[in-house]
Amino acid sequence: MSLMDKMMDYMLGKMSKEEKQAMMEKMMDKFFADMTVEDKQKLVEAMIPKMMGGINMMEMMPKVMMSMMGGSKGQAGMMGMMSKMTENMAGS
């Protein structure tokens, strides 16, 4: 472990969660302050494949569609909500 790593561990270990979040927000503001819109777009384009790397879209999409259409965990889902809204509007 390098000296810098030890110093960071020591400093972060003494900070509260709120202090860490404030420091991270300040650092991110500084990081993005000098970037152009094009630079930010390039960064996002480079990050998306890495973030989506572990996601199997062929497995995820049916689950998303089923939850939207039929609901899950006792929820009515989108179709149920739309049906209730239509009933309420017709009854008004």
pLDDT tens digits along 22-52: 998 999 888 888 888 899 889 888 888 777 7
Tell whether 40 is covered by a domain: yes
**Residue 76, domain member (yes or no):** no
Residue 31 lies in a domain: yes
Cβ neighbours of 89 (radius 10 Å): 8
DSSP string, 69-90: HH-STT--HHHHHHHHHHHHHH
80 lies in some domain = no
Confidence of residue 3 (pLDDT cuts 50, 70, 90): very high
Total domains present in the chain? 1
pLDDT (tens digit per residue) in 67-88: 777 655 555 566 666 677 777 7
Q: Kindly state whether residue 85 falls inside one of the protein's structural domains.
A: no
The whole-model pTM stands at 0.38
User: Is the distance from CB of 92 to CB of 82 less than 8 angstroms?
Assistant: no
| Most confidently modeled range among 3-12, 55-64, 65-74 | 3-12
Does residue 33 fall inside a structural domain? yes
Between 73 and 6, name the one with better pLDDT.
6
74 within domain boundaries: no
Q: Within a domain: residue 17?
A: yes
Domain holding 3, by residue range, is 1-44
Cβ atoms of residues 68 and 77 within 8 Å: yes
